[in-house]
């Protein structure tokens, strides 16, 4: 049987400084007319995705792209076409938006959509936009519980921090008690508390999601249904592919740079990290290993959502 031809598309997520992003309606005459999507269009023969993005945004919206970084790549099998979408975050452009194809525009906030229906392929992308640029891993075993709780409070007071509670030195009861203390800390900006450990011990805790070890990830046949958000640690292509098959919300890949937690293991380095992400995955990926806010821009230039931080977040 002949495999279906892949239609390659470049799609733009235009993001304003306040985090709002642009959706556009599909014009009359196209499949799924009236559905809302991220603007973009098909790659021409021999055209690079970034060049197609710039061309399509000029043709459709009348703007010139000034800053765009690769983000996610997703395949979606529609009845009319098998589509591979390369998404770019566009954070700088020139010109005013013009509906050159008669489309409507709507600026939206993550997880607060006011328009519908959404083009089916864009659903997971919308979820990814709700994620932070940083993922914090807890350090209670390094700095002590009292200090950790106070600093966690400061992180949540400052913004919508995502915190993975990873404390392997604690037994089940100790972990539960620490989790309950964290859950009582106000999160005025939102923020997330993500569990880590045996899934059976986490299901009844006040968690927003769960972070899988690579061993847990590879042992699963389907995404854990008990948790709203599910992410995983990965180290190579096969683990990234497994996370993709399970439809996880994010991955953490590394270690990228030299790390005190892995002194005897050679790091991936930025080139290999970027090469792995360039293969295209449908969920955001964080760089881990020797990361801090100082490496955020480099991680994003390599295609990452952001950075996962341990010690540097708690100094």
Indicate the pairing of strand 6-14 with strand 40-42: antiparallel
Distance CA 238, CA 218 (A): 9
Q: How much of the chain is in helix, strand and coil states, percent to nearest 5?
A: 30, 30, 45
> Over the chain, what is the mean pLDDT?
92
pLDDT for 87-113, tens place per residue? 999 999 999 999 888 889 999 998 899
pLDDT for 204-243, tens place per residue? 999 999 999 999 999 999 999 999 999 999 999 999 999 9
Tokens 């002194």 belong to residue: 263
pLDDT for 162-209, tens place per residue? 999 999 999 999 999 999 999 999 999 999 999 999 999 999 999 999
Contact 136, 307 (CB under 8 A): no
Structural domains in the chain plus CATH codes? 6-122 (3.90.79.10), 134-313 (3.20.20.70)
What integer pLDDT is reported at residue 262 of this predicted model? 65
Quickly state the pLDDT bin for 58 (edges 50, 70, 90): very high
What integer pLDDT is reported at residue 2 of this predicted model? 46
Distances (CA, A) of 158 to 76, 137, 147, 217: 38, 17, 17, 32
DSSP secondary-structure letter at 62? Answer: -
Distance CA 151, CA 146 (A): 9
């Amino acid at each position: 049987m002949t495999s279906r031809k892949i239609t390659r598309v470049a799609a733009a997520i235009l993001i304003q400084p306040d985090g709002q992003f642009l959706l556009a309606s599909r014009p009359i005459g196209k499949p799924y007319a009236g559905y809302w999507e991220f603007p973009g269009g098909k790659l021409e023969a021999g055209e690079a995705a970034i060049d197609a993005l710039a061309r399509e945004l000029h043709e459709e919206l009348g703007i010139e792209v000034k800053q765009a970084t690769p983000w996610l790549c997703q395949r979606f099998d529609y009845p009319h076409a098998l589509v591979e979408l390369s998404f770019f975050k566009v954070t700088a452009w020139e010109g005013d938006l013009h509906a050159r194809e008669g489309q409507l525009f709507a600026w939206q906030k993550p997880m607060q959509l006011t328009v519908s229906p959404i083009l089916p392929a864009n659903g997971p992308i919308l979820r990814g936009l709700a994620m932070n640029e940083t993922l914090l891993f807890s350090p209670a075993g390094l700095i002590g519980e009292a200090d950790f709780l106070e600093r966690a409070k400061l992180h949540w007071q400052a913004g919508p921090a995502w915190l993975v509670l990873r404390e392997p030195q604690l037994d089940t009861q100790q972990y539960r008690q620490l989790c309950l203390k964290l859950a009582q800390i106000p999160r005025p900006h939102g923020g997330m508390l993500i569990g880590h450990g045996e899934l059976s011990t986490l299901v009844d805790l006040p968690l927003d999601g769960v972070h899988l070890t690579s061993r847990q990830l590879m042992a699963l046949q389907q995404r854990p249904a008990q948790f709203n958000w599910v992410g995983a640690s990965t180290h190579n292509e096969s683990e990234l592919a497994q996370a993709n098959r399970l439809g996880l919300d994010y991955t953490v890949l590394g270690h990228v740079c030299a790390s005190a937690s892995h002194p005897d293991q050679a790091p991936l380095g930025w080139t290999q990290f970027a090469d792995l992400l360039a293969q295209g995955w449908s969920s955001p990926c964080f760089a881990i290993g020797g990361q801090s806010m100082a490496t955020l821009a480099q991680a994003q230039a390599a295609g990452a959502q952001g950075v996962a931080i341990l010690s540097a977040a708690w100094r």
